[in-house]
Amino acid sequence: MAPPAAKASQEMTARERFDFHLAEMKKAAIEINPLVRFAQDIECLDKPERPLALGVLGQWATGRYEGDGVYAGGDQYSRRPLQREAARHEGLRRTRFSVIQVHENDRRKWMRLSESSFEAFIGKKVTA
């Protein structure tokens, strides 16, 4: 595994090496099993006051976005299947999903998830 060709002739900084190897690790994990979704990276290497220095969370995809509608809950440990409604929101940087329990009107209980988190949270689409 080699660093990017543009950086090969000069020394990479520790931050550049970290970012490169983290991206390579994620890419390799997805190549090993395409159901892996990286929902969250926590990196506080320059913040020693924080309790967690580094964390990478990989989850199994339990569903795939198939348009707005009602999805079964992806949690296999639920006593009854939860249904979620998803609406895609195009953001400046990435797509986010609004996830709410069916018939929930209290906006404080709505969640906004990235696509990888959403796919690890939901099950199959139930209705349109």
pLDDT tens digits for range 13-69: 999 999 999 999 999 999 999 989 887 788 888 999 999 899 998 888 888 888 777
Give the model's confidence band at 8: pLDDT under 50 very low, under 70 low, under 90 confident, else very high: low
Strands 54-60 and 69-73: unpaired
Q: What percent of the chain has pLDDT over 90?
A: 20
Give the model's confidence band at 2: pLDDT under 50 very low, under 70 low, under 90 confident, else very high: low
